[in-house]
């Protein structure tokens, strides 16, 4: 499943809404740009008037006066343009910051299952390539678009004021230019969308191969991955080549459309001067205006191209927000307070649940289970039995294909994500260490946690010894170039976060797999005492976990085949008893 896209109009509308708090800067830059354009457009008019005066005869003092006026216009145009560009850049940077923050906010609200199915390549591409495309447009294109549009309007107005006959010649080329742009847009919009999709696919391949390099090497898949990557690369190159051809076509014909009016104006202008209908100064002024016109038209051709890339980028960036559940995008109002109160009890129930990652291939089949508040439940079974999948459904990461999982009688799908994540938490062997201090990494779970609470959490996960050995203690900076945690330390850090979060229900899936087994058992017992009264569900890959649990659920081929305490299941002499005896004799 790919993350959705907005329409082109929605993308630009959302971007415009983010400018709301900075529009005063935009209007200031806009006013300065208008002033700069007026000064620049006035220069050819002054040159034309000066030529007419010289042709008809004038004093040297008048010539110096006009030259002084020209110099003043050039200086004023340069100064005003500088400040206009400055405020346009300030505005662009502020808007880019808003767009980037909005994207991160949307990513944090999207359900984890949606992000996982989208793939790392698409997620990374939207946060890198697409953001860079928008930034380029904002920095290079925003002020350029305003200036170029104003220049075209003022230059055409000045041409008609100078000579309506020559103005009609220049104006006749606008429809041709519009048709050329339409032809380009009809082909460029889908082409850039395919290009962005191919880039995301290539990024995904690159990231996933690097992430699983050990597996690739272990199974000697280097050549297969190389050929697969080259195949994706060729697809990306083909789409890039096509968009490059479109760009070169646009720029080439834009050049000819800018040149043709100048040739016609000179030819017709010579005739009109000979007939006495126009002055040399007027023809010269219009010719200079056309030369001036070429620059904004070239820029607008370039902007048309950049705008297509930006449009696709905005559709992808704001499309992430479409994947955010409605209970997160709007203020939640619960008529009966059931959903809000769900977290006050950890009564989890699984009712006739089946689940498929891919249609037609069930991973869970008709699973029903009631988990009592405050009990410790161990889920055991052979590899591929569906244990981790059931854990994900219990934590609300995935939604059942059939049936429902409820918390205090309320389906997890109806509980706002912000509430659910504070009540039911899944902890896997995957750990995350963020750039920042050790304290900042821990207080992500509880922003107002005191040092005493932090040290209690660290003690519960057996991390006190190595933390106190750090020179700067909780203020030690973590990450590349700083103190780097070992895998067991990072896993202890993740578990300490959970203790600080203090959820009602905790789902542990190999949460201590990177820690020495003896230490891990003591750690789990220590955590259980700290989390007394909480519901703890352990996906048991080490059977001592099941021995310590209140109840054990045995899973075989996506179904719960046995349920009871350790003693009860051993006495039944079933699948669990077989697993237990095998494990004891290892």
- Mean pLDDT score of the chain, rounded to an integer? 82
pLDDT greater than 60 at residue 335: no
- pLDDT band for position 366 (50/70/90)? very high
- What is the layout of strands, in order, in the sheet containing 551-556? 424-428, 505-509, 535-539, 376-380, 551-556, 559-564
As a whole number of Å, the CA-based R_g of the chain is 34
Q: What is the DSSP letter of 479?
A: S
pLDDT greater than 80 at residue 16: yes
What pLDDT score was predicted for residue 101?
92
138-182 pLDDT, tens digit each:
877 667 777 788 778 888 888 888 888 888 888 888 888 888 878
Class of domain 1-163+279-326: mainly alpha
pLDDT greater than 90 at residue 317: yes
Q: Cα dist. 415→336, 409, 454, 488, 505 in Å?
A: 12, 11, 29, 33, 15
5 vs 186, higher pLDDT: 5
The superfamily CATH assigns to domain 348-585 is P-loop containing nucleotide triphosphate hydrolases (3.40.50.300)
Element containing residue 379 per DSSP (H, E) = strand 376-380
Sorted by sequence, the CB contacts under 8 Å of residue 333 that are 6+ apart come out as none
pLDDT greater than 70 at residue 578: yes
236 vs 103, higher pLDDT: 103
pLDDT greater than 90 at residue 319: yes
Instruction: Determine the Cα angle at 252 with ends 246 and 254, to 5°.
Output: 100
Nearest CA to 288 out of 175, 166, 180, 164 is that of 166
Instruction: Determine the Cα angle at 514 with ends 417 and 210, to 5°.
Output: 75
How much is the average pLDDT of 174-199?
81
What pLDDT score was predicted for residue 334?
33
Sorted by sequence, the CB contacts under 8 Å of residue 125 that are 6+ apart come out as 196, 199, 200, 203, 316
What pLDDT score was predicted for residue 340?
41
Query: In Å, how far from its chain's centre is CA 239?
Result: 22
Q: Cα dist. 172→156, 178, 265, 271, 545 in Å?
A: 12, 11, 12, 19, 83
Q: Cα dist. 280→169, 183, 208, 209, 270 in Å?
A: 17, 38, 69, 70, 8
- pLDDT band for position 333 (50/70/90)? very low
How much is the average pLDDT of 52-61?
76
Residues recorded for the chain: 586
> So where are the chain's domains?
1-163+279-326, 169-277, 348-585
Q: Say whether pTM exceeds 0.85.
A: no
Sorted by sequence, the CB contacts under 8 Å of residue 342 that are 6+ apart come out as 407, 408, 409, 410, 415, 419, 423
Instruction: Identify whether the C-beta of residue 293 lies closer than 8 Å to the C-beta of residue 155.
Output: yes
523-534 pLDDT, tens digit each:
666 666 666 778
124-141 pLDDT, tens digit each:
888 888 898 898 888 776
Bridge partners, residue 76, by sequence: none
């Amino acid at each position: 499943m790919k993350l959705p896209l907005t329409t082109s109009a929605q993308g630009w509308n959302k971007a415009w809404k983010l400018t709301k708090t900075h529009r005063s800067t935009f209007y200031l830059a806009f006013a300065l740009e208008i002033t700069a354009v007026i000064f620049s457009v006035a220069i050819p008019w002054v040159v034309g008037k000066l030529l007419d005066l010289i042709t008809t005869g004038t004093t040297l003092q008048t010539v110096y006066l006009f030259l002084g006026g020209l110099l003043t216009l050039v200086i004023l145009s340069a100064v005003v343009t500088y400040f206009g560009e400055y405020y346009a850049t300030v505005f662009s940077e502020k808007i880019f910051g808003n767009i980037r923050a909005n994207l991160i906010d949307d990513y944090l609200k999207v359900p984890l299952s949606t992000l996982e199915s989208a793939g790392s390549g698409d997620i990374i591409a939207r946060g890198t390539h697409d953001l860079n495309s928008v930034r380029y447009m904002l920095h290079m294109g925003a002020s350029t678009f305003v200036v170029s549009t104003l220049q075209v309007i003022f230059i055409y107005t000045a041409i008609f004021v100078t000579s309506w006959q020559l103005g009609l010649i220049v104006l006749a080329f606008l429809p041709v230019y519009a048709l050329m742009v339409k032809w380009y847009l009809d082909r460029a919009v889908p082409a850039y969308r395919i290009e962005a999709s191919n880039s995301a696919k290539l990024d995904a391949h690159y990231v996933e191969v690097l992430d699983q390099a050990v597996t690739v090497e272990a199974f000697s898949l280097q050549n297969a991955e190389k050929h697969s990557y080259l195949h994706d690369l060729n697809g990306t190159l083909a789409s890039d080549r096509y968009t490059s051809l479109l760009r070169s076509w646009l720029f080439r014909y834009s050049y000819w459309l800018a040149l043709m009016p100048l040739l016609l104006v000179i030819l017709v202008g010579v005739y009109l001067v000979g007939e006495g209908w126009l002055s040399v100064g007027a023809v010269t002024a219009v010719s200079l205006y056309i030369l001036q016109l070429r620059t904004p038209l070239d820029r607008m051709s370039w902007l048309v191209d950049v705008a297509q890339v930006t449009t696709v980028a905005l559709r992808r960036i704001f499309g992430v927000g479409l994947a955010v559940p409605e209970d997160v995008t709007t203020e939640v109002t619960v008529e009966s307070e059931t959903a809000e109160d769900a977290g006050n009890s950890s009564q989890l129930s699984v009712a006739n649940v089946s689940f498929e990652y891919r249609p037609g291939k069930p991973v869970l089949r008709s699973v029903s289970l009631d988990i009592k508040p405050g009990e410790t439940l161990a889920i055991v079974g052979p590899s591929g039995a569906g244990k981790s999948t059931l854990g994900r459904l219990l934590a609300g990461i995935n939604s059942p294909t059939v049936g429902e999982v409820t918390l205090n009688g309320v389906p997890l799908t109806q509980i706002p994500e912000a509430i659910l994540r504070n009540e039911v938490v899944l902890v896997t062997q995957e750990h995350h260490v963020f750039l920042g201090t050790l304290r900042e990494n821990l207080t992500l779970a509880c922003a107002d946690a005191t040092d005493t609470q932090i040290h209690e959490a660290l003690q519960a996960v057996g991390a006190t010894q190595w933390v106190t050995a750090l020179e700067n203690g909780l203020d030690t900076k973590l990450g590349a170039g700083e103190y780097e945690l070992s895998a067991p330390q990072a896993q202890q850090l993740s578990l300490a976060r959970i203790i600080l979060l203090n959820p009602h229900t905790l789902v542990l899936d190999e949460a201590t797999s990177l820690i020495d087994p003896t230490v891990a058992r003591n750690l789990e017992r220590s955590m259980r005492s700290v989390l007394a009264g909480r519901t703890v569900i352990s996906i048991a890959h080490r059977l001592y976990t099941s021995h310590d649990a209140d109840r054990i659920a045995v899973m075989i081929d996506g179904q719960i085949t046995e349920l009871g305490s350790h003693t009860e299941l051993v006495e039944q002499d079933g699948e669990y008893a077989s697993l237990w005896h095998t494990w004891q004799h290892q």
